[in-house]
Structure 1
Amino acid sequence: MEAPAHSHGRVWRVPAAQLFFDRIKAQYDVGKDTKGLPKPDASFKALASALCAIPRDDEHAVISICKKPVNETIVAALTKAFVRNRAIEGLLFSKCEMKDNALAALFQLIFSNIRIAFFDLSQTSLSSEQLTSLCESLLANEFLQSVGMVGLGITDAEVEPVLNLLRKTRTLRAIDLSDNLFTAKTLETLVDIVAANATICRLTLRGYIIPAPLQRRLSDLLDRNTAVTQVLDEILDNSCKRNFSTRLSAFRRSVFLRRGEEEPQEGGVEDAAAPTYKLYRSSTVLNDKFVHIVSERFAVSFGESKGRRSEMQDVLFVQGRYRGEVDQDFFAVYDGHGGREPAAYCAKHLHLLIATEMEKIPAGGIPAAFKAAFAECNRRLSAFCSIQGTTATCLYISPEKTFYLGHVGDSRAVFATRSASAPSHAVKLSEDDTKAFQDAGVVQLTRDHNLKDEDERAAVAARGCTNFANNRVNGQLTLTRALGDSNLSSYLSCEPDVYEHALIQEDEFVILASDGIWDVVTPVRAVEFVREKLASAPLDGIAQQLVDLAFESNSMDNLSAIIVFLRAPSSTKRAEPAEPAEAGSAAAATVDATADPATPTTPTTPTPKTPSRHSVGFL
């Protein structure tokens, strides 16, 4: 694509197929004879009259001032022209001598949300304070689509206002930052911002030495953003013809990223040379290709239902022989919001990322591996999950009979034990609840990451969020921690709470479940329900019965649950998986387990069944 030019006599043009606003039809140069405009030193009346005389049918016109002194008179005339003539959409300055008062008036013009789509202030001397004011004004304008800031001498120490503009803008499509004084660190930050903000479709960086991998990544991200913005524009343009929410939901399902044909190999290490992410469209949902391996140490039951929702956004993951070892297991529940794709992506990759991080850290550093893997997974998701995200509740059981639980969001992990020295709760309980939990041998291992938690609310406020309408972050999302949701990345955290516990003889089972279950079933009731069913029901059906209990209790959300039995129940029955319940569908696995959770046994694998389109089973 031809680079935009900012020299006199040429306008910033971008191919319509990529940036959708190749609309400039005429350029009016102040001080030139070509359009009959007077020189900058003309009286205000003469200059304003000439600018306002630009034909109203000359749609998408820009005013250009090059190598001229600019004072308050010119800015006042420009203001009047923009107010009176809506055909004028652009204002280009290049190598102009700008007085402080003129700059202040110009920034105020932009800040006032005047209808301006193109603005260029290239090769003009600005102080750090003026640069900050400029960026604040650009951010406040809801019509700007293209900005030129070439050759302003911006250094790494002064670049933060520009970065903040790019992080927060929801209208800016293109920006030219060529020929400034950025180092490699700032260039990498710019690319990360482009990954997080799908609004930015063009970032021009002439005059820098950029490593080839970073160039390729930037090119891929800009191509992706361009495609996403095209689809969104089409949806908005046609929203009156079809229900907007329906169109947006269809877009979320049909446009996303995938790795390519070559999948990461089992064992946890992804090939660095694997194909880069590419944007593509498909009429089908993400294809769930997961390894089905039975745990050789524990009996496992799981069930799920889309419940009363129109779409299933929960995804379960169960894997024995984790990292290729018979004495390692991994279980997870992912509850997506805004679509199923983020949850499915995590079910496909997060366990591999954790395994990769485990290879890098010394023994005993598993919590650090969880945190690093969650951060990397969030970074990848942020490239395409601007208004989508997922919770993640992941359980890893090591060869040393220790389990590690990593958690973000509002899914929960509940632990049942007969031990008098049970682990501590992750949540603050009332005195009555504490006694009820203790009497029942129940421990809630996770806390809900939402604004009802005072610590979480304080953390979000510390990150700069002031809008907590309807107990939602920035009025949009109930969660304070999640993977994805890059549009709220400045307020949300992806750092997991990591809990560690060494298993003992008295430990019974762990329940991992999405919030659709916990909305209507208390932890104590869930544990008591499972214990009741252990005496009479086959293990492989208990999780689905817990799901059905929540559905019958009028849960309005998707429902998913995994139960990991840590020791052999007193009465264990086996049966083939039951047919899916009417409310949804289920799959389960049953194996023999001894009192010692580390002792492997020979598993009995149930007859494989093809999951329905609302069910994903991982064994």
Structure 2
Amino acid sequence: MEDTVSLHPSFCVWADGSPMHFFAVFDGHGGPHVAALCREQMHAILATELAAAAQGHGGDEEGSWRAALARSFARVDALAPEGAIVGSTAVVALLVRDRLVVANCGDSRAVLCRGTHAVPLSEDQKPDRPDERARIEAMGGRVMFINGARVRGILAMSRALGHKLLKPEVICEPEITITTRSDDDECLILASDGLWDVISNKVACDVARQCLEDGSPTRARTAESGEAGPSSSGAPVAQQPEPRCYRAAALLARLALGRESSDNISVVVIDLKARG
């Protein structure tokens, strides 16, 4: 398992006193090292960059958010191992006031469930995406088709953190979208490609929305395993009510497994209506 997730509500405060909330999924490739680095460092580095940006944003707060995210991705990328083909995708979502800020590097994905519609807030960065292929070839690189499009026949995405041996073709610059929230917004789904390979944006939103709207009592779960059950000594373990977001994410992961996804699957569901 090379995926990691990072959840940090109220991880920093913006210039006007508004709390900012951080959620992310990182999908490691070639080993778990860079994904683990992202989990441990990305939110902390971004908090320092946002704090600096808040001091002199000059009224252009969206430009400041974009710049802070770009600098944070570059700083984490610089910490990745030298001379290695090991790296990670990164899809990061910031919630601040009525805005959803999404930064994406790789082929993990963010999808907004707005009413009955699925609104992608990121676009997968694949080597055969026309603009990405043109950029790679302009850098002197090649896109080869070996079990799908791959940079130099190795990496099945055109942007990622790490992968030092595949630079300059593979870059760490995120694509960033900023979306104003609507009263129709139900939830935001962040997931690695193990989910999206077998489940469409629309189906994922339908499943998540149904879980969040369901008012029936939830099952108990263990904090560590996600399932109710005995401890290693055979005694019952302490159980907690299962949050609806947890239930939605777990159901999506099980659905992807049922559809025989062949990749790691990590899912985060963020309830934008703050239900229990």
Common fold: TM-score over 0.5: yes
Q: 1:317 corresponds to which residue?
A: 6
Q: For each residue in 1:517-566, what CA deviation from the matched residue of structure 2 results, as whole angstroms up to 9, or x when unmatched?
A: 00000000101111222343640311101100000001011111000010
The 3 A distance-change label for structure 1 pair 403 and 385 is farther
Partners of 2:83 and 2:110 lie apart in 1 by 25
Candidates 463, 467, 492, aligned match of 2:139: 463
Q: 2:75 corresponds to which residue?
A: 376
Letter in 1 for 2:166: L
Q: Does the 8 Å CA contact 1:320/1:326 hold for their aligned counterparts?
A: no
Partners of 2:121 and 2:92 lie apart in 1 by 12
Candidates 398, 401, 405, aligned match of 2:102: 405
Q: 1:564 corresponds to which residue?
A: 270
Q: How does 1:185-584 map to 2 (within 5 A)?
A: 312-323=1-12, 327-361=19-53, 362-363=56-57, 364=61, 365-381=64-80, 383-384=81-82, 386-398=84-96, 400-418=97-115, 440-470=116-146, 471-536=149-214, 538=218, 539=244, 540-568=246-274
Partners of 2:83 and 2:211 lie apart in 1 by 40
Partners of 2:143 and 2:68 lie apart in 1 by 33
Partners of 2:49 and 2:93 lie apart in 1 by 15
1:342 is paired with a residue whose SS is: helix
Letter in 1 for 2:202: V
Letter in 1 for 2:133: R
Q: CA RMSD in A?
A: 1.7
Question: TM-score, with normalisation over the residues of structure 1?
Answer: 0.37
Question: TM-score, with normalisation over the residues of structure 2?
Answer: 0.81
Q: Does the 8 Å CA contact 1:336/1:388 hold for their aligned counterparts?
A: yes
The 3 A distance-change label for structure 1 pair 568 and 329 is closer
Letter in 1 for 2:157: L
Question: Structure 2 stretches of 5 or more lacking a match?
Answer: 219-243
Count of residue pairs the alignment pairs up: 236
Partners of 2:11 and 2:182 lie apart in 1 by 21
The 3 A distance-change label for structure 1 pair 529 and 476 is same
Q: For each residue in 1:363-382, what CA deviation from the matched residue of structure 2 results, as whole angstroms up to 9, or x when unmatched?
A: 3110011011111111111x
The 3 A distance-change label for structure 1 pair 557 and 358 is same
Cα deviation for residue 467 of structure 1 reads: 4.9
Q: 2:225 corresponds to which residue?
A: none
Partners of 2:77 and 2:42 lie apart in 1 by 10
Q: 1:107 corresponds to which residue?
A: none
Q: How does 1:79-98 map to 2 (within 5 A)?
A: none
Partners of 2:110 and 2:266 lie apart in 1 by 12
Partners of 1:531 and 1:349 lie apart in 2 by 31
Cα deviation for residue 323 of structure 1 reads: 2.0
- Percent of counterpart pairs with the same letter? 33
Cα deviation for residue 451 of structure 1 reads: 1.7
Which structure carries more relative contact order (alpha carbon 8 Å, separation 6+)?
Answer: 2
Q: Does the 8 Å CA contact 1:342/1:385 hold for their aligned counterparts?
A: no
Letter in 1 for 2:73: F
Q: Does the 8 Å CA contact 2:98/2:181 hold for their aligned counterparts?
A: yes
The 3 A distance-change label for structure 1 pair 550 and 394 is same
Q: For each residue in 1:4-53, what CA deviation from the matched residue of structure 2 results, as whole angstroms up to 9, or x when unmatched?
A: xxxxxxxxxxxxxxxxxxxxxxxxxxxxxxxxxxxxxxxxxxxxxxxxxx
1:322 is paired with a residue whose SS is: strand
Bigger Cα Rg: 1
Partners of 1:337 and 1:493 lie apart in 2 by 15
1:468 is paired with a residue whose SS is: strand
Q: Does the 8 Å CA contact 1:385/1:484 hold for their aligned counterparts?
A: no
Q: Does the 8 Å CA contact 1:463/1:490 hold for their aligned counterparts?
A: yes
Letter in 2 for 1:548: R
Q: For each residue in 1:419-447, what CA deviation from the matched residue of structure 2 results, as whole angstroms up to 9, or x when unmatched?
A: xxxxxxxxxxxxxxxxxxxxx31101111
Q: Does the 8 Å CA contact 2:133/2:143 hold for their aligned counterparts?
A: no
1:475 is paired with a residue whose SS is: coil
Partners of 2:209 and 2:101 lie apart in 1 by 23
The 3 A distance-change label for structure 1 pair 385 and 541 is farther
The 3 A distance-change label for structure 1 pair 466 and 504 is closer
Partners of 2:121 and 2:79 lie apart in 1 by 27
Question: Structure 1 stretches of 5 or more lacking a match?
Answer: 1-311, 419-439, 570-591, 593-619
Cα deviation for residue 475 of structure 1 reads: 1.3
